[in-house]
Homo-oligomer: A and B are copies of this chain.
Amino acid sequence: MSKKIKAGILGATGSVGQKFIELLNDHPYFEITALGASERSAGKIYQEAANWFMTTPMPEKVKKMKVQLCEPGLDCQVAFSALDASIAGEIEKKFAQAGYFVISNARNHRYEKDVPLLVPEINPGHLDALAMQQYGKGKIVTNPNCSTTGQVMALKPLQDAFGLDAVHVVTMQALSGAGYPGVPSLDIMDNVIPYIGGEEEKMEKEPLKILGKFIDGQFINAEFKISASCNRVPVVDGHLEAVSVKLKQKASAEDIIRVLQAFKPAFGELQLPSAPKKPIHYFHENNMPQPRLLRNLEGGMAVSIGRVRPCNILDFKFLVLSHNTVRGAAGGAILNAEIMAAENIIR
Q: Contact residues of A with B, CB < 8 Å?
A: 15, 53-57, 166-168, 170, 172, 175-176, 180-195, 204, 225-227, 229, 231, 233-236, 240, 242, 244, 246, 286-294, 296-297, 306-307, 311-314, 317, 319
Shortest distance between the CB of A24 and any CB in chain B (Å): 20
A312 contacts B233, CB within 8 Å? no
Shortest distance between the CB of A15 and any CB in chain B (Å): 8
Contacts of A246 in B (CB 8 A): 313
A194 contacts B288, CB within 8 Å? yes
B227 contacts A312, CB within 8 Å? yes
Partner of A291, one of B170, B190, B290: B190
Partner of A242, one of B56, B182, B229, B291: B229
Extra inter-chain contacts (18) besides given A180-B186, A234-B235, CB under 8 Å: A55-B292, A168-B313, A170-B242, A172-B192, A183-B186, A184-B185, A185-B188, A189-B235, A190-B235, A190-B236, A191-B292, A191-B293, A194-B289, A226-B312, A231-B240, A231-B242, A233-B234, A246-B313
For residue A298, which residue of chain B has the nearest CB? B57
For residue A181, which residue of chain B has the nearest CB? B184
Q: Return 26 A-B CB contacts under 8 Å, by A number.
A: A57-B297, A168-B311, A170-B229, A170-B242, A172-B231, A180-B186, A181-B181, A181-B186, A183-B184, A183-B185, A185-B234, A186-B236, A189-B235, A189-B292, A190-B190, A191-B292, A192-B233, A192-B235, A192-B240, A194-B240, A194-B290, A194-B307, A194-B319, A227-B244, A233-B234, A234-B235
For residue A296, which residue of chain B has the nearest CB? B55
B172 contacts A172, CB within 8 Å? yes
Contacts of A286 in B (CB 8 A): 195
For the complex formed by this chain, how many copies does it contain in all? 4
Cα distance, A19 to B246, chains bound together (Å):
42
Contacts of A244 in B (CB 8 A): 168, 227, 229
For residue A189, which residue of chain B has the nearest CB? B236
B227 contacts A287, CB within 8 Å? no
Contacts of A312 in B (CB 8 A): 166, 204, 225-227
Contacts of A311 in B (CB 8 A): 168, 227
B234 contacts A189, CB within 8 Å? yes
Interface centre among A185, A204, A287, A288 (most CB of B within 10 A): A185
Shortest distance between the CB of A193 and any CB in chain B (Å): 6
A193 contacts B290, CB within 8 Å? yes
User: Given A244-B168, A317-B229, A189–B190 Cβ distance below 8 Å?
Assistant: yes
Contacts of A56 in B (CB 8 A): 296
Shortest distance between the CB of A244 and any CB in chain B (Å): 7
Partner of A227, one of B227, B234, B240, B317: B317
